[in-house]
């Protein structure tokens, strides 16, 4: 998860903590994690466990993990991972950063352990600056995603993204980050070719980790983009960290999502269950040609969304492709289904054009 890494690296640099990042998620991380994970746990638990093992092997003695208060299983990941890793013989300290909704100290105490003597105020300022970076990275990712189909020189776009992310990573002050962001967005915009039109418009919804980590979603964004499909995504990292915040990267604030999803799912069910329904309806209302729903096997909130999506599909007449991913899923299977889905959408679009 590229944007998360830039944000956290910035945070640890500012806190002056010696850190090591495990290599990017790979099949090695997955098989390491899956080997000792509980069988029925969801994919993100298994792969983050693999990341942890790689980090420990690279010399880390402390693991920092996010927490949560439910009802999604993610909030209990760190506890389970701690048990499983200890049983496998690893020695380490696990720090869980809990959301501050049940007391600020749940959030601050891991950081105060890492950087002894830091005041809550100083910590807040650092976290805010790092978060700004995370948001800037998200905005660049969004711009690249949504402009991908309008750009002829795809390589140049990829290169530009890399450059901009590097500049954001190096930026120190608030102004530097904003400047890097501004220049990046402008140059990405200038790459657009006016006459190029998207073949199709597809929205991607689903579970957070699966949408954000190219390794587990088989880089479908790149694949679809290279086919000339205009893409939008429902979840961005910084929206997830501050869900009700202003200037949402994903396009819809929590309140709007709830309102959109209300006729179908009027209850927050944890994770991205409601976000998935809300964004699907938003995509349908904005005349997208189709929606792709990604979820890890046994993910509870997304399973609720999956059982409700057929009703959304009926009412809004929008095709939805559901892809369930676990450690057994192969790239070829996913690509075949994507190809078939694109073919169907194109045929449908042509037929509708002829009819009108």
Partner 1 sequence: MKVGLPQALLHYKYYHLWETFFNELGVETVLSPASNKQILNAGVKSAPSEICLPVKIFLGHVKALKDVDKIFVPRVVSVEKGAYTCPKILGLPDIVRGTEGLPPVLAPTIDFTKGKIHFAKAIYNLGAQFSSSPLKIFKAYQAGTKALKRHELKKQEDGLSKTGGLKIGIVSHPYNIYDSFISLDLLKKIKKEDVSIQTSESLDKKIIEDETSSLPKELFWTYEKEVVGTALHWLKTGKVDGIIYLLSFACGPDSLAQVLIEDFAQQYQDVPLMSLVIDEHSAEAGLLTRLEAFLDMIKRRKKIESNHRPDGLSANYARGSVQAA
Enumerate binding residues for partner 1 (CB under 8 A): 38-42, 67, 69-73, 75-76, 79-80, 83-84, 87, 96, 102, 264-271, 273, 297-301, 303-304, 306-308, 310-311, 314, 322, 324
Q: Which is nearer to partner 1, 72 or 210 (CB)?
A: 72
Q: How far apart are CA 118 and CA 180, in angstroms?
A: 29
Q: How far apart are CA 184 and CA 165, in angstroms?
A: 9
Collapsed DSSP state (helix, strand, coil) of residue 34: helix
Q: How far apart are CA 209 and CA 229, in angstroms?
A: 22
Q: Which is nearer to partner 1, 180 or 281 (CB)?
A: 281
Q: Which is nearer to partner 1, 255 or 314 (CB)?
A: 314
Q: Minimum distance from CB of 89 to partner 1 (Å)? A: 14
Q: Which is nearer to partner 1, 119 or 307 (CB)?
A: 307
Q: Minimum distance from CB of 308 to partner 1 (Å)? A: 4
Q: Which is nearer to partner 1, 30 or 41 (CB)?
A: 41
Residues 196, 230: contact at Cβ < 8 Å? Answer: no
Could you give the residue ranges of the DSSP H alpha helices within 58-119? 77-87, 104-114
Distance between first and last Cα of the chain:
43
Q: Which is nearer to partner 1, 151 or 324 (CB)?
A: 324
Q: Which is nearer to partner 1, 138 or 272 (CB)?
A: 272
Q: Minimum distance from CB of 86 to partner 1 (Å)? A: 9
Q: Minimum distance from CB of 74 to partner 1 (Å)? A: 10
Q: Minimum distance from CB of 40 to partner 1 (Å)? A: 4
DSSP symbol at 286: T
Rounded CA Rg of the chain: 21
Q: Residue 210, class by beta-carbon neighbours within 10 Å (0-12 exposed, 13-18 middle, 19+ buried)?
A: buried
Q: Minimum distance from CB of 90 to partner 1 (Å)? A: 15
Residue 144 CA to its chain's centroid (Å): 15
The residue count of the chain comes to 356
Q: In 3D, which of 205, 203, 201, 213 has the Cα closest to residue 265?
A: 205
Q: Minimum distance from CB of 27 to partner 1 (Å)? A: 22
Residues 203, 214: contact at Cβ < 8 Å? Answer: no
């Amino acid at each position: 998860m590229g944007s998360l890494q830039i944000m956290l690296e910035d945070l640890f640099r500012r806190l002056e903590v010696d850190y090591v990042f495990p290599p990017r998620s790979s099949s090695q991380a997955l098989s390491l994690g899956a080997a000792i994970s509980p069988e029925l746990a969801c994919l993100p638990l298994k792969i983050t466990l693999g990341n942890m093992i790689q980090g420990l092997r690279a010399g880390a003695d402390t693991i920092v993990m996010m927490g949560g208060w439910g009802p999604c299983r993610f909030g209990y990941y760190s506890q389970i991972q701690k048990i499983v890793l200890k049983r496998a013989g690893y020695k380490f300290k696990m720090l869980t950063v809990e959301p501050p909704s049940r007391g600020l100290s749940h959030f601050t105490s891991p950081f105060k352990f890492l950087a002894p003597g830091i005041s809550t105020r100083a910590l807040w300022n650092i976290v805010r600056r790092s978060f700004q970076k995370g948001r800037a990275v998200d905005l660049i990712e969004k711009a690249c995603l949504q402009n991908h189909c309008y750009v002829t020189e795809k390589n140049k776009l990829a290169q530009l993204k890399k450059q901009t992310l590097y500049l954001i990573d190096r930026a120190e002050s608030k102004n530097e980050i904003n400047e890097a962001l501004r220049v990046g967005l402008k140059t990405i915009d200038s790459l657009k070719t006016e006459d190029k039109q998207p073949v199709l418009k597809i929205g991607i919804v689903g579970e957070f980790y699966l949408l954000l980590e190219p390794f587990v979603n088989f880089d479908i964004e790149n694949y679809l983009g290279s086919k000339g499909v205009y893409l939008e995504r429902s979840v961005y990292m910084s929206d997830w960290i501050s869900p009700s915040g202003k200037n949402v990267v994903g396009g819809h604030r929590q309140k709007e999502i709830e309102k959109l999803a209300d006729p179908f799912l009027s209850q927050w069910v944890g994770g991205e269950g409601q976000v998935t329904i809300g964004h699907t309806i938003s995509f349908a209302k904005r005349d997208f040609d189709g929606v792709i729903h990604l979820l890890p096997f046994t993910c509870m909130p997304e399973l609720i969304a999956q059982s409700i999506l057929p009703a959304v599909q009926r009412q809004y007449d929008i095709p939805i492709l559901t892809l369930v991913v676990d450690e057994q899923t192969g790239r070829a299977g996913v690509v075949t289904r994507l190809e078939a889905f694109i073919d169907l959408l194109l045929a449908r679009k042509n037929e509708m054009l002829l009819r009108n």
